[in-house]
Amino acid sequence: MMRTVLFGPPGAGKGTQAARLAERFGIPAISTGDIFRANVGQGTALGLEAKEYMDAGLLVPDSVTNAMVRDRLTWADAAEGFLLDGYPRNPDQARELESMLDDAGVSLDVVLEITADVDEVTRRLLSRAEIEGRADDTEPVIRRRLEVYAESTAPLADFYRERGLLVQVDGIGEIDEVTSRLVEAISDSSA
C-alpha cells in the first residue's frame, strides 16, 4: 500500500518508470497526460477542452484537471494506493491534492522527482517525436513544455521538501538503472 507522486521534466521517462513502479508495487499508475490523450482520441468534451492547451504545450486549467483527478481517485483500484504521474504539476494542484486526500483521511507516503538536464530531455523528446508522433513533440512545443515545467512544476520540489516527502532520483542512465534507483528510494523512504 503506497500513495505516491512522480514528477520530472518532460522526456525524463516518467511514463515508463511509472508503469514499472505500479506493476512492482501493485498499485495503479494514474497519468493525467494519458487520460487527457485518451479523451482527445475519443473526442469527449474533456478532450476537446484539453486539446488546445496540450497542443500548445500549456497546462490544462487547474479546475479541469483537479476535477478529473478527484474523480479518478474515487475508483476502487485507487483505494489501497496509487502512483500519480503528471499530477500535481504546480503548487496549487499540490494543495488541491492535499485536500482531496485529507477528505479521504489519507496522505502521501513519498514524492519522487526524476531529475534530468534540459539538453538530455530535449534530445530524448525529439527522438521520441519521430517514433511516436505525439502532437506535442515538435520543437517549439517541447521548448514551451520545458519552460512551463521550470516555472510551474519545478517549485513542487520545495513544496514537498518542506513536507518531508521529497526524494530526488537521477533520471540519466539505462531504464533499468533508473527503476532500481526509484525502487531503492521508495524502500529507503518507508524504512
Q: Report the catalytic residues.
A: 14, 89, 128, 134, 145
Q: Does 145 bind ligand ADP (CB under 6 A)?
A: yes
CB of 118 to ligand ADP, least distance (A): 13
Residues in region 23-62 near ligand ADP by CB under 6 A: 32-33, 36, 53-54, 57-60
Q: Does 160 bind ligand ADP (CB under 6 A)?
A: no
CB of 190 to ligand ADP, least distance (A): 25
Q: Helix (H, G, I), strand (E, B), or coil: what is residue 185?
A: helix
DSSP states of 87-110: ---SHHHHHHHHHHHHHTT---SE
CB of 85 to ligand ADP, least distance (A): 7
Nearer residue to ligand ADP within complex by CB, 25 or 53 = 53
Q: Encode 47-62: b = buried (16+ Cβ within 10 Å), e = exposed.
A: beebbebbeebbbbee
- Segment lying near ligand ADP (by CB under 6 A), choices 40-48, 83-91, 98-106, 172-180: 83-91
56, 108, 58: which is closest to 84 by C-alpha?
A: 108
Q: How many residues bind ligand ADP (CB under 6 A)?
A: 17
User: Which residues does 120 contact at the CB level (< 8 Å), separation at least 6?
Assistant: 11, 172
Q: Helix (H, G, I), strand (E, B), or coil: what is residue 19?
A: helix
Nearer residue to ligand ADP within complex by CB, 105 or 132 = 132
What kind and span of H or E run contains 169?
strand 166-170
From 18, 73, 86, 116, residue interacting with ligand ADP (rule: CB under 6 A)? 86
Burial of 19 (0-12, 13-18, 19+ CB in 10 A): middle
Q: Helix (H, G, I), strand (E, B), or coil: what is residue 82?
A: strand
34, 81, 39, 86: which is closest to 59 by C-alpha?
A: 86
Nearer residue to ligand ADP within complex by CB, 4 or 32 = 32
What kind and span of H or E run contains 166?
strand 166-170
CB of 187 to ligand ADP, least distance (A): 25
CB of 156 to ligand ADP, least distance (A): 11
| Residues binding ligand ADP (CB under 6 A) | 10, 32-33, 36, 53-54, 57-60, 65, 86-87, 89, 93, 136, 145
